[in-house]
Amino acid sequence: MVAGVPGHAAPSFTGRGQPPSPLRIGPHTLANNLILAPMAGVTDRPFRELCRRLGAGLAVSEMVAADPRLWARRKSQRRLDHQGETGPIVAQLVGNEPGALAEAARRNQDLGADIIDINMGCPAKKVCRQAAGSALLRDERLVASILTAVVAAVPLPVTLKIRTGWSPEERNAPRIARIAWESGVAALTVHGRTRACGFTGSAEYETLRALRQLTPMPLIANGDIDSPERAGYVLNYTGADAIMIGRAALGRPWIFREIAHYLTTGAHLPRPDPDWVKTTLLHHLHALYDFYGDLTGVGMARKHLGWYLRGQRDAAAFREVFNRAGSRQEQVNLIEASPASAFGSWQTEDQQAA
C-alpha cells in the first residue's frame, strides 16, 4: 500500500526510458520537472543554487511579505537578493491584500524575478493569524481578487501554491484551481494535506488526481515525495506535470539527480561517494558563510549540518562538538578533520530495504 492513497497498491515503475517532459511555465521551459519547494529559513540563495546544481529544474525562494515596509529588515533583504542566481528566478509572496501583492510583484520584477509565486499554502499559525497563507483558502472571493490583481500587475507568469483545503471537511482545492485558471495563473502547486493537517499523517494524492482531470494548467504535486520510487508513483498516480520536493532535500540536495536518473532509467544511482558528500557539505557551508557573513553563517551551518547528519552513526556527539564551534574556521576544521565516512552512510528507507 502507498501512504496517503488508501486502498491503492503502488504500481510498478520501471522508468520511461526517456526523461519526463520538462515543465513549461509561461515562456520558461525548465530543464526537467523537479522543483525545490520554498521553505522559510531554508531555501536561501546558497541552498537554491546547490539544489539547482544537483538536478533541480527550478528552486522557489523563501516567502517574502507583500508589505514593503518590512523589506528594510536584513532577513527580507537577503530573501530579495537574487544576485548571480541561476534563472528562472521565482519570488514567492505572502499577504492578503490584492493591491499590496500586486505592487510587491512589480517590485520583485524590478529585482530580477522571472516568475511570481503566491503563497496560499503556508500552515504556520503566525501567517494564518494574519489571514494569509493557507487561511486564504477560506475566502474564495478574496483568492480571486488577489490572483486577478497580481496577474494584471506584471507581464511575468504568476503561479500559485495551495493545500487541498483548510481542513478535511473543507477541501476546496477544485474550486480554487478553477479560480486560478480563470484568473490567468500559469501553474498550480498543491501540497496533499489540508491546513489543519499541518505536516502530520500522510499526504493524500486523490485530490491531486481529481484536479488533473479538472484543470488544463500545469499541475505540480507536493507532499511526502522523499524517494525516487515515490516520485515515480506520484507522477503516475496523479498525472501531475511535475513534483515539488521540500523536507526530503534537507541534508540531501542530491535527491534531485537521484530522482531524475530513476525517472529516466528505472534504475538507482549508486549511493553518493563519501568523499563527494564531504566536499558537497563543505561547499555548502562556505556558500552560507559568504552569503550571511561569518557570524550568521555559523548559525546557519549548524542547522544544515544537523540535516546532513541524519542517520549517521555518532551523529549526536559530532553535532554537539560542531555546535560549540564559534567561528567559520573552527567549523570548517572540524569537517575537514573528520573521515569522509562520517558523512557518507545516509540512505533512504527504500535504499535500506533494497
What pLDDT is stored for residue 12 in this prediction? 42
Q: Residues 182-196: pLDDT tens digits?
A: 999 999 999 988 877
Residue 6 has pLDDT above 60, yes or no: no
What pLDDT is stored for residue 167 in this prediction? 80
What pLDDT is stored for residue 195 in this prediction? 79
Q: Residues 311-342: pLDDT tens digits?
A: 777 788 899 999 999 999 999 999 999 988 88
Q: Residues 39-65: pLDDT tens digits?
A: 999 999 999 999 999 999 999 999 999
**pTM of the entire structure?**
0.90
Residue 16 has pLDDT above 70, yes or no: no
- The position carrying cell 530522482 is 259
Residue 13 has pLDDT above 60, yes or no: no
Q: Residues 195-217: pLDDT tens digits?
A: 778 888 888 999 999 999 999 99
Q: What cell does 68 get?
A: 514593503
What pLDDT is stored for residue 300 in this prediction? 97
Mean pLDDT on 82-108: 94
Q: Which residues, at least 6 apart from 201, have a Cβ–Cβ distance to it below 8 Å? A: 193
Give me the active site residues, please.
Answer: 122
What pLDDT is stored for residue 344 in this prediction? 65
Phi, psi (5° rounding) for residue 259?
Answer: -70, -45
Alpha-carbon distance of 181 to 215, in angstroms, equals 7
pLDDT tier at 122, thresholds 50, 70, 90 = confident
Closest CA to 223 of 254, 182, 199, 192: 192
Q: Among 128-142, 222-236, 282-296, which stretch is predicted with the lowest mean pLDDT?
A: 128-142
Residue 241 has pLDDT above 80, yes or no: yes
Residue 157 has pLDDT above 70, yes or no: yes
Alpha-carbon distance of 64 to 59, in angstroms, equals 15
Alpha-carbon distance of 332 to 320, in angstroms, equals 15
As a whole number, the mean pLDDT across the chain is 89
Q: Which residues, at least 6 apart from 15, have a Cβ–Cβ distance to it below 8 Å? A: 232, 262, 263, 264, 265, 266, 267
